[in-house]
Chain A
């Protein structure tokens, strides 16, 4: 890690092997429609910031925060583009028609709720870790999780 921070390209290459699958998995879960773009943007941001990372022992926490925020930004942008191109698409997406699996049910939740649920249920993070990742309070995480679970159950049980 220190070698990578000091511009050892082979160490950076190795680090990329280690981080890329995690970054890709998070992006695919949070922003499935734009997962490739989100993965590349997140990796660019991570590697650009790497030399100035003050606490290398916090690498995974930092990579997670950069990735989740990047994926959320691209997911919001993709949602806006879809809504602008076809205003009917958004209402169709939020209907229950055609719901086939958990991924579909998750995709129908508002992005902030979807992300906390993904980080809690699929990534196994604690509420404190989610709060640190998103830069919000633990109380906000708790209330978003509560609303997300309720909304998910409503969608899933319908």
Chain B
């Protein structure tokens, strides 16, 4: 385990799995990114610059307040809506939440590469019944995979 990244004795990627366990319907995917942690994590943590690049529905993201690990954000979506979010950001851990969604990233070094986990969850209250739930899960996994593809490309090829 990487003790610098641990919070309360838990590795960030393990922590994300625990968080997902309490959020019925949450979609989580993880991937080994062929770039070092020191290249991947600063990119994830630079919310204003990079979130609109990997999240297709987000046009802009502004940090409106910052108190240590706690952030207030204002997200502008591509359909013109705006929504405030609260976030907790530290090394290897980024958790963002609005009234409608939860988005989280967790990362740790893996050799010279990075293990990156990504969670998305719609705060809709009661989970949909089957088979709708399975269809939503597949769609959510496909969306997350696409975002991880973009992050991997940004981290390994065309950062900046």
A residues near B (Cβ < 8 Å) are 4, 7-10, 12-13, 16-18, 20-21, 24, 36, 39-40, 43-44, 47-48, 50-51
Dominant secondary structure at the A interface: helix
Interchain CB contact under 8 A, A16 and B18: yes
From B1, B9, B19, B88, residue with most partner A Cβ within 10 Å? B9
Given contacts A16-B15, A36-B1, A43-B18, contact A9 B23 (CB under 8 A): yes
Interchain CB contact under 8 A, B97 and A8: yes
Cα–Cα, bound, A36→B15 (Å): 12
Given contacts A9-B102, A10-B88, A10-B95, contact A24 B9 (CB under 8 A): yes
Cα–Cα, bound, A36→B1 (Å): 10
Interchain CB contact under 8 A, A7 and B95: no
Set A7, A12, A43, A47: member contacting B123, Cβ < 8 A: A7
Cα–Cα, bound, A9→B105 (Å): 13
Please tell me if B17 contacts chain A, counting CB pairs below 8 Å: yes
Interchain CB contact under 8 A, A4 and B9: no
Interface residues on B, range: 20 to 34
Cα–Cα, bound, A24→B123 (Å): 30
Please tell me if B108 contacts chain A, counting CB pairs below 8 Å: no
Cα–Cα, bound, A12→B19 (Å): 7
Please tell me if B55 contacts chain A, counting CB pairs below 8 Å: no
Interchain CB contact under 8 A, A13 and B10: no
Interchain CB contact under 8 A, B95 and A13: yes
Interchain CB contact under 8 A, B97 and A50: no
Interchain CB contact under 8 A, A7 and B23: yes
Cα–Cα, bound, A40→B14 (Å): 7
Cα–Cα, bound, A39→B17 (Å): 13
Interchain CB contact under 8 A, B19 and A17: no
Name 11 A/B residue pairs within 8 A (Cβ), A-sorted: A7-B23, A9-B23, A9-B104, A9-B121, A10-B97, A13-B88, A36-B1, A39-B9, A40-B17, A43-B18, A51-B22
Return A24 CB to nearest CB of chain B, in Å.
5
Set A16, A21, A24: member contacting B19, Cβ < 8 A: A16
Cα–Cα, bound, A4→B21 (Å): 12
Cα–Cα, bound, A8→B101 (Å): 10
By a CB distance below 8 angstroms, the chain A residues around B14 are 40
Given contacts A9-B19, A40-B18, contact A21 B1 (CB under 8 A): no
Given contacts A8-B97, A9-B102, A9-B104, contact A39 B10 (CB under 8 A): yes
Interchain CB contact under 8 A, A47 and B9: no
Return B69 CB to nearest CB of chain A, in Å.
10
Cα–Cα, bound, A126→B14 (Å): 33
Interchain CB contact under 8 A, B9 and A7: no
